[in-house]
C-alpha cells in the first residue's frame, strides 16, 4: 500500500497555492468552475469531477447547477441527476443522516467491502457505465441539508482514495466554502440590482442617485432631461441629447455637499478616531447619526424645475456608505420635460399602477424589490413592523397582487 502523503506539506505546494489563489479570485461561475477543476487536479488525482451546486439558490428559487469536468465520459455535462438520486439515495442517504455536517467521505466509509459496492444498483447503473470504480465526495451543508457537493470519480486502475488524500480534501474544504459563500453574496447583490433596476424603469419618478463622493450611480431618462433643462434652460436643452450633456446641476451638487457636512457634524465619532468632524475625510462615511436625515428642496428660477435632495443610509449594512437620492420634477409637476403633456402609461402596466402610489408607498416597493424584510424596511423608514405590514397590504391591493413575488413579477413585465 502506498504511503499516506503529508497533508501539511502538500498545502504548501506552490501549485496548490496558485490553485487556491485562483479559487479565491473567481468572480463568475465559469471562473469558479475552472479554478475548482484546477484545484482538484493538483490536490487529488482523479478521472472525473462532478459538481452539484445550489450556490445561486439564495432564496431557494433557482435550480441546481450540475457540471462534470472535461474528462468526463458523460455525453452531456449538464446531465440529469434524477438517476443518481433514484439509485444512490438508498446507498448514501442513511450514512448522511447519521453524519450530519460531515465535510467529506468516500464509498469505502459507507461499505468497507468493495465487492458489496459493485453489486449495488447505484454502481451498476451509474458508476460502471461511465468506467468509474471509486468515489469521494465533498459536502457543503446549509440549513441541515447538503447544499453543494463535489464527487471525485476514479477508474479501477487508479485505486481507492487514501486516508491522506481524504485529509487533504478536508484541508481544502474551508477554502471552497469561502469561495462559494462569496459567490452566493455576489449573486445576491446581482439579483438585488436587477430588481432595483426593474423598479426604477417602472416608477414614474425622475430619480437621480449619487454615491457618497457625488458620482452618479443611477439616473432615469427623465432625470437626465431635467438636469439638462436645469443646466442649459428649456430652449437650449432641446438641441442636445440629455445623455451627451449630462452633468449634475451645481445647485444640487452644492446641496449634497451641505447635507454631507451636516451628516458628518451630527454623526458620532468613531471610538478609534475621536477626531473632530471637520478633520474627517469626505470619502469616509461615518456611522448614521440620530434623528431625521437632512433634506433640501431646490427650485431653479430659470427652468422652474424642482429637486428634493436627501441622504439615505443603509442601516442593514454598517459598511455601506450613504447615498444621495434626488427626486426631480418638471415645472408644475405634470407636464413632460419637453413642455408637452406626459404620455400616460398603458392601462394595467406596472408604471400606470405605480402612479397610484404615494412617494412613501413607492419607497416601500423599492425596498421590497431590494429584498428587504419587513424588519429591515421598518428600520430604514423609521416605522414599526405593524405599519409596514399595513402599508404593504395597501400596496398589494392597489397593484392587484397578493404577494411580494407577484409584485416583483408584475414589475418585470414592463
43 within 8 A of 20, measured Cβ to Cβ: no
101 within 8 A of 147, measured Cβ to Cβ: no
Q: Give pTM, 2 decimals.
A: 0.55
Task: Tell me the pLDDT of the chain (414 aa) as tens digits.
Answer: 344 444 445 567 788 888 899 998 887 878 888 898 889 988 898 888 888 776 443 333 333 455 666 444 444 444 445 556 566 778 888 888 899 999 999 998 998 887 888 888 888 878 888 888 999 999 988 878 888 888 899 999 999 999 989 999 999 999 999 988 888 777 776 766 666 666 666 666 788 888 888 888 878 888 888 888 888 887 787 777 777 778 899 999 999 999 988 888 876 554 433 344 444 444 444 445 545 557 888 888 888 888 988 887 654 444 456 788 888 888 865 434 444 334 444 444 555 566 677 878 877 887 887 777 888 888 777 788 899 999 999 888 888 888 887 777 777 665
**Dist CA 164 CA 222 (whole Å):** 64
First and final CA of the chain: distance in angstroms?
Answer: 65
Q: In angstroms, what CA-CA distances link 89 with 81, 92, 101?
A: 11, 6, 17
**CA-based torsion, 187, 193, 197, 198: positive or negative:** positive
Compute the CA torsion angle 296, 299, 300, 302 (nearest 10 deg): -170
**Dist CA 170 CA 168 (whole Å):** 5
Helices (H), 203-333: 221-232, 234-237, 250-266
Three-class DSSP category at 53: strand
Three-class DSSP category at 308: strand
The whole-number pLDDT of residue 173 equals 93
Buried b (16+ CB within 10 A) or exposed e, 258-291: ebbebbbeebeeeeeeeeeeeebeeeebbebbee
As separate numbers, helices (DSSP H) first and strands (DSSP E) second, the chain gives 16, 10
Would you give the DSSP letter of residue 124?
I
The whole-number pLDDT of residue 192 equals 66
Domains in the chain: ranges and CATH: 7-187 (3.30.450.40), 205-269+279-344 (3.30.450), 346-414 (1.10.10.10)
The whole-number pLDDT of residue 407 equals 79
Would you give the DSSP letter of residue 81?
T
The whole-number pLDDT of residue 57 equals 37
Amino acid at each position: 500500500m502506498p504511503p499516506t502523503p503529508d497533508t501539511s506539506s502538500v498545502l504548501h505546494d506552490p501549485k496548490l497555492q496558485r490553485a487556491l489563489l485562483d479559487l479565491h479570485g473567481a468572480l463568475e461561475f465559469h471562473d469558479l468552475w475552472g479554478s475548482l477543476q484546477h484545484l482538484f487536479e493538483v490536490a487529488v488525482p482523479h478521472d472525473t469531477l462532478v459538481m452539484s451546486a445550489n450556490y445561486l439558490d439564495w432564496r431557494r428559487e433557482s435550480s441546481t447547477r450540475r457540471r462534470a469536468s472535461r474528462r468526463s465520459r458523460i455525453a452531456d455535462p449538464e446531465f440529469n441527476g434524477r438517476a443518481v438520486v433514484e439509485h444512490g439515495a438508498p446507498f448514501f442517504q442513511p450514512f448522511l443522516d447519521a453524519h450530519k455536517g460531515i465535510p467529506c467521505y468516500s464509498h469505502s466509509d459507507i461499505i468497507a467491502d468493495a465487492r458489496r459496492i459493485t453489486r449495488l444498483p447505484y454502481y451498476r447503473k451509474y458508476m460502471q457505465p461511465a468506467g468509474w470504480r471509486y468515489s469521494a465526495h465533498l459536502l457543503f451543508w446549509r440549513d441541515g441539508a447538503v447544499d453543494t457537493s463535489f464527487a471525485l470519480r476514479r477508474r479501477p486502475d487508479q485505486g481507492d482514495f487514501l486516508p491522506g488524500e481524504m485529509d487533504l480534501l478536508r484541508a481544502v474544504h474551508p477554502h471552497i466554502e469561502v469561495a462559494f459563500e462569496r459567490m452566493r453574496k455576489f449573486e445576491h447583490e446581482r439579483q438585488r440590482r436587477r430588481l432595483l433596476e426593474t423598479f426604477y424603469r417602472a416608477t414614474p419618478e425622475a430619480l437621480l442617485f449619487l454615491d457618497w463622493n457625488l458620482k452618479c450611480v443611477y439616473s432615469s431618462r427623465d432625470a437626465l432631461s431635467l438636469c439638462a433643462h436645469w443646466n442649459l434652460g428649456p430652449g437650449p436643452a432641446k438641441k442636445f441629447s440629455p445623455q451627451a450633456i449630462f452633468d449634475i446641476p451645481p445647485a444640487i451638487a452644492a446641496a449634497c455637499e451641505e447635507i454631507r457636512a451636516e451628516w458628518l457634524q451630527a454623526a458620532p465619532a468613531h471610538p478609534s478616531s475621536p477626531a473632530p468632524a471637520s478633520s474627517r475625510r469626505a470619502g469616509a462615511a461615518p456611522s448614521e447619526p440620530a434623528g431625521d436625515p437632512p433634506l433640501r428642496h431646490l427650485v431653479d428660477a430659470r427652468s422652474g424645475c424642482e429637486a428634493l435632495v436627501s441622504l439615505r443610509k443603509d442601516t442593514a449594512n454598517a459598511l455601506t456608505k450613504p447615498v444621495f437620492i434626488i427626486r426631480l420634477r418638471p415645472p408644475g409637476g405634470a407636464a413632460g420635460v419637453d413642455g408637452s403633456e406626459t404620455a400616460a402609461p398603458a392601462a394595467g402596466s406596472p408604471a400606470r399602477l405605480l402612479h397610484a402610489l404615494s412617494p412613501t408607498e413607492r419607497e416601500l416597493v423599492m425596498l421590497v424589490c431590494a429584498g428587504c424584510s419587513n424588519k429591515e424596511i421598518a428600520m430604514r423608514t423609521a416605522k414599526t413592523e405593524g405599519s409596514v405590514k399595513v402599508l404593504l397590504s395597501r400596496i398589494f391591493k392597489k397593484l392587484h397582487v397578493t404577494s411580494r413575488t407577484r409584485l416583483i413579477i408584475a414589475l418585470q413585465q414592463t
